[in-house]
């Protein structure tokens, strides 16, 4: 019913030399001559024209040196804008990138250390670490899930895997390391500093104490003692015990003046003692470092300290020097294992009062 042009099976004519291949509808009632004239006119209209620099045609395709570069990629490569895929900035390591990667591990370390050192609450520490670690963990997990899925269905290039997981992996690793280090340091500070300080703050404070008028019974509940200025250590009256290390003890006495010299005052009894380790010969002079008696703490974390042979020997040495030799045998016999001290009554403890700071209050607590 319709005449066809040449030998084509469809009513379309192909224009040679067109780019891309172009077929034009052929009017069914026109002649071959008129059809070719129409095709020549259409070829002129569709022939590629020289493009000016920066021109965009065909849906944003830019012809640059014969290569077709989409407008989005060209804008990214020229750093004019950024999308959710920052292809132009990945790999660039500047000051802000360093801060972006480093601030979170630093915050994790500081917060975990302060919380664990000041409050020492496991639940609170775990909650704080969860808040700080949840985002780095989720970021890395999502990337790993995507990599596994891509490897199963399409295959991946390991260079791309390393490229995209580099910073998330190191951020996660740094945050976990900072949390571990901060928690460990916070626990050490709590055990050796903040916890003893809290125990001391709950104990009785005595100021301007002089051995001349202060007895051991008065200082039984002392947590912190400051001595008067005229107080010192009688280094000639030294007791000692060798058990691997050498434990040294010397009485704290009032200091008087004689011929312009400061000399220890003669006292009928000694209730306060200074203790040191490996600072004397056995027997020998007490050569432990000088201590300022204006303000000195004689008590440490007594609740966490376990009874050891040093405490037992110190009490026994004091009993001998103080004239309570009859109690020495019983004391050492019952306390040789460090446990029988709990069987002593309060009156027994008062009879063998040894105000050695930590040792005396420990005996009183266990009694």
pLDDT digits (tens, 9 = 90+) for 331-341: 554 443 344 44
Centre a 10 Å sphere on the Cβ of residue 361 and count the other Cβ atoms it contains: 21
Nearest alpha carbon to residue 212 among 273, 260, 265? 265
Write down the pTM of the prediction: 0.42
d(C-alpha 198, C-alpha 119), whole Å: 11
d(C-alpha 222, C-alpha 271), whole Å: 13
pLDDT, position 79:
61
Are 2 and 25 a contacting pair, CB within 8 Å? no
pLDDT, position 122:
85
**Residue numbers in the chain where pLDDT is lower than 50:** 1-15, 17-30, 32, 36, 42, 46-47, 51-62, 82-90, 291-310, 333-347, 349-367
pLDDT, position 80:
52
Q: What is the DSSP letter of 343?
A: G
Are 305 and 192 a contacting pair, CB within 8 Å? no
Mark out the alpha helices in 154-275 (DSSP H runs).
158-189, 195-201
Q: Retrieve residue 268's tokens.
A: 């009928």
pLDDT, position 273:
80
Radius of gyration in angstroms for the set of CA atoms belonging to the chain, rounded to a whole number = 45
Distances in whole angstroms, Cα of residue 215 to Cα of each of 6, 18, 206, 287: 130, 115, 12, 25
Return the domain boundaries, the chain: 1-48, 99-200, 205-366
Nearest alpha carbon to residue 311 among 269, 342, 343, 275? 275
d(C-alpha 188, C-alpha 176), whole Å: 19
DSSP 3-state of 240: strand
Are 273 and 264 a contacting pair, CB within 8 Å? no
pLDDT, position 313:
57
pLDDT, position 175:
93
Contacts with 321 (C-beta within 8 Å, 6 or more apart), sequence order? 237, 239, 270
């Amino acid at each position: 019913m319709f005449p066809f042009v040449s030998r084509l099976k469809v009513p379309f004519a192909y224009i040679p030399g067109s780019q891309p291949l172009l077929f034009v509808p052929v009017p069914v009632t026109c002649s071959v001559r008129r059809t070719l004239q129409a095709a020549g006119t259409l070829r002129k209209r569709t022939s590629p024209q020289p493009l000016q620099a920066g021109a965009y045609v065909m849906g944003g395709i830019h012809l640059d040196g014969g290569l077709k570069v989409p407008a989005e990629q060209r804008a990214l490569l020229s750093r004019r804008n950024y999308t959710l895929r920052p292809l132009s900035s990945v790999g660039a390591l500047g000051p802000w990138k360093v801060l972006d990667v480093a601030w979170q591990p630093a915050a994790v370390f500081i917060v975990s250390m302060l919380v664990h050192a000041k409050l020492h609450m496991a639940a609170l520490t775990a909650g704080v670490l969860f808040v700080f670690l949840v985002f780095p963990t989720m970021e890395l997990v999502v990337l790993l899930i995507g990599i596994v899925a891509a490897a199963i269905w399409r295959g991946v290039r390991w260079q791309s895997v390393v490229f995209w997981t580099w910073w998330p992996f190191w951020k996660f690793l740094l945050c976990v390391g900072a949390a571990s280090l901060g928690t460990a340091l916070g626990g050490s500070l709590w055990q050796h500093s903040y916890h003893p300080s809290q125990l001391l703050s709950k104990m009785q404070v005595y100021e301007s104490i002089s051995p001349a008028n202060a007895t051991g019974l008065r200082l039984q509940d002392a947590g912190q003692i400051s001595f008067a200025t005229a107080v010192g250590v009688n280094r000639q009256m030294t007791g000692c015990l060798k058990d691997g290390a050498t434990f040294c003890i010397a009485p704290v006495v009032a200091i008087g003046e004689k011929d312009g010299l400061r000399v220890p005052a003669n006292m009928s009894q000694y209730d306060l003692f200074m203790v040191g380790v490996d600072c004397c010969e056995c027997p020998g002079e007490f050569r432990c470092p000088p201590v300022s008696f204006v303000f000195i703490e004689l008590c440490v974390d007594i609740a966490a300290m376990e009874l050891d042979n040093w405490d037992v020997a110190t009490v026994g040495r004091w009993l001998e020097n103080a004239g309570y030799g009859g109690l020495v045998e019983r004391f050492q016999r019952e306390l040789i294992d460090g446990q029988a001290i709990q069987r002593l009554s309060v009156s027994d403890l008062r009879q063998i009062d040894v105000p050695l700071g930590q040792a005396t209050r420990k005996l009183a607590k266990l009694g």
